[in-house]
Amino acid sequence: MATELHPPTGTAASTARLAHVDIDTLERLPGQGGMIPPAEALPLVLPTDRLNERGMALPPIRDGLRRIHNARNVGNVVSVWLQSFGLLALVCWVTPQLPLAAALPIWAATFVLMGRSFALYSILGHEAAHRLLFSKKAINDAVGRWAVAYPAFVPLDLYRRSHFAHHKDEFGPNEPDLNLYNGYPIGRDSMRRKLVRDANGTSGWKSLKGLLFAFRSASSRPLALKILASQAMVLVVLLAIGGWSRWWLYPVFWLAPWMTVWRVLNRLRSIAEHGGMMHSSDRRLTTHVVRQTWAARFWIVPFNTGWHLAHHADMGVAFQDLPRFHRELVDSGWVTVDLEHRSYRDLWRALTSRAAA
């Protein structure tokens, strides 16, 4: 659902009319800043009586936002299983009764939807990495590893360290995803090549090789074995669903969508979060704001991950409360209409607006 943006009111509005970030004086590192917003989108309105100077909510508002929704997240984990294993079970039950011409489009749609299912697994794994999935650390990490991260080939503990480095200093010297975000806008041909590599499995094979090579390292092997054990459990479940005659469910409808469809979705989401932004203590210059729609939330940014500036303003806010926190940022005047991209399509178009050389 789209979140409407309203002009700031009261003291924040008055301040916004007086001062904005002077973007002409900002030091932009090579490859950065090609997509930063205009100065009029960056009013200097913080701190307020509800937010501190970095956009984080003050107590007791912060306490209300930093809730962990244990019961709801049990349902969310189950829902992800139903949208992957349950989907395959449903298709295995339905398609034998159909002629081949009708069954093939259903299997094709299932392939695409299984790629989307890895977005669901990954975002819940992201919540577990932030220890926001369950309030008890042991439960959070056990469920995060074995129920959502490992099935999606994500080594949760390594991801947590890398991801926290991303949050600590976006676009800084220790940013693990700098190559993914830098250099935008790019040309359409360049983006097309990237997406083709994602769609044909080239990017996925590179990631899979990294996991396979981990078995050679004594330090990495224990984690690689855990992911392998998780994939073996996935295989067992798929054999229980389809029987031995459908042994191909794992390579065709688990591994292949992860190597292809998921790679496309992951790139599109990632560049929409930070592509072309820059190193700054003002997170409005590190993270895009995009209007949320049901279609985008289904395909690209499930579990409210599209409210990404709110997540970077306070990474201790669980995904269920990010829309409410975003509203706080809007009402303060810190997030403005000019800061918001109207849709992901508009943002991707801007990200590929560089003229051909």
Residue 25, CA distances (Å) to 9, 22, 44, 185, 282 in order: 28, 6, 15, 21, 14
Predicted pLDDT at 140: 98
CA–CA dist 3, 333 (Å, integer): 15
Q: Give the pLDDT confidence of 61-116 residue by residue, as tens digits.
A: 999 999 999 999 999 999 999 999 999 999 999 999 999 999 999 999 999 999 99
**Domain range holding 340?**
53-182+199-345
- pTM, entire model: 0.92
Predicted pLDDT at 120: 98
Question: Which position has the token pair 């390594």?
Answer: 158
* Residue 222 is assigned to a structural domain of this protein: yes
Which segments of the chain have a pLDDT < 50? 1-17
Predicted pLDDT at 271: 98
* Residue 8 is assigned to a structural domain of this protein: no
Predicted pLDDT at 355: 74
Instruction: Please return the burial class of 119, using the count of CB atoms within 10 Å of its CB with bins 0-12, 13-18 and 19+.
Output: buried
Predicted pLDDT at 5: 37
* Residue 192 is assigned to a structural domain of this protein: no
Predicted pLDDT at 13: 44
Predicted pLDDT at 1: 35
What is the domain count for the chain?
Answer: 1
